[in-house]
């Protein structure tokens, strides 16, 4: 499938780019990063126009984000019920609350720094009721960074795009795992501090009774 899609890029590059970025924002398994890198390489060789390729990829991504957001808003409860186990329900509810309070930064970073999380952030933002303006502007800014990175790298490094795509994918997965571990660490630290404060308060209240 990947080879077929890449073969279409020189002839139908703009359409392929727009469709690929749109579908990837809905968590569908499309090799979008490799397609964008290839488009950058074809632009460097003169088969595509660089700004047109970037605009097509950007437009597809922005529309895909909006579609994912609307899917989450329309069927969020049913969707998230399928994505999570009952044991993780409370953690998901806490994550949704954090997204409502700090959503824009999470939306922005998930477009490019940890792009594998992007589609799920779209769904969660819609399901959590994040205001559309607070979702749209950071999503648009993040997609601009994502497209610029991949199209630009494809144009600059045309020699081995497959290896470059694998390197970027591994880096994204590593960052996603690192951020997940950091969030868990911060949550555990906050829980332990809250428990210590509760224990200290209990000791303080019981001290006069002992005297």
DSSP 3: H
Helices 132-156 and 118-128 cross at an angle (nearest 10°) of 170
Neighbours of 107 (CB within 10 A): 27
Are 128 and 103 in contact by the 8 Å Cβ rule? The answer is: yes
Return mean pLDDT, the chain: 76
Domain layout of the chain by residue ranges: 2-198
Query: Within the chain, how many helices (H) and strands (E) appear?
Result: 7, 0
Q: How far is residue 63's CA from residue 107's CA, in Å, rounded to a whole number?
A: 15
Are 125 and 158 in contact by the 8 Å Cβ rule? The answer is: no
Note the pLDDT tens digit of each residue in 53-99: 999 999 999 999 999 999 889 876 676 666 665 655 555 566 566 67
Note the pLDDT tens digit of each residue in 175-195: 444 444 455 455 556 666 776
- Of 53, 63, 45, the closest CA to residue 17 belongs to 53
pTM exceeds 0.85 for this model: no
Q: What is the pLDDT of residue 101?
A: 73
Tokens of 168: 């970027």
DSSP 45: T
DSSP string, 133-164: HHHHHHHHHHHHHHHHHHHHHHHH--S-HHHH
Q: How far is residue 118's CA from residue 31's CA, in Å, rounded to a whole number?
A: 15
Q: What is the pLDDT of residue 2?
A: 58
Task: Give the number of C-alpha atoms closer than 13 A to the C-alpha of residue 188, restricted to the C-beta side.
Answer: 6
Q: What is the pLDDT of residue 171?
A: 44
pLDDT at 116 exceeding the cut of 70: yes
Q: How far is residue 116's CA from residue 174's CA, in Å, rounded to a whole number?
A: 11
Helices 50-83 and 89-112 cross at an angle (nearest 10°) of 180
């Amino acid at each position: 499938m990947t080879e077929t899609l890449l073969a279409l890029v020189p002839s139908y590059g703009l359409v392929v780019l727009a469709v690929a970025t749109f579908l990837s924002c809905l968590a569908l398994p499309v090799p979008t990063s490799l397609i964008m890198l290839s488009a950058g390489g074809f632009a460097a060789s003169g088969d595509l126009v660089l700004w047109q390729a970037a605009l097509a990829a950007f437009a597809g991504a922005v529309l895909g984000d909006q579609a994912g957001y609307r899917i989450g808003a329309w069927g969020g409860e049913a969707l998230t019920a399928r994505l999570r186990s009952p044991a993780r329900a409370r953690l998901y509810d806490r994550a949704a609350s954090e997204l409502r309070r700090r959503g824009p930064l999470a939306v922005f970073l998930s477009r490019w720094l940890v792009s594998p999380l992007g589609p799920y952030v779209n769904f969660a933002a819609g399901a959590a009721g994040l205001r559309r303006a607070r979702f749209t502007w950071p999503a648009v800014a993040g997609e601009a960074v994502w497209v610029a990175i991949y199209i630009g790298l494809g144009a600059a490094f045309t020699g081995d795009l497959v290896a470059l795509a694998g390197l970027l994918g591994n880096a994204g997965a590593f960052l996603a795992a690192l951020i997940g571990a950091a969030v868990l660490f911060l949550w555990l630290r906050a829980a332990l501090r809250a428990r210590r404060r509760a224990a200290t308060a209990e000791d303080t209240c019981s001290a006069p009774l002992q005297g």
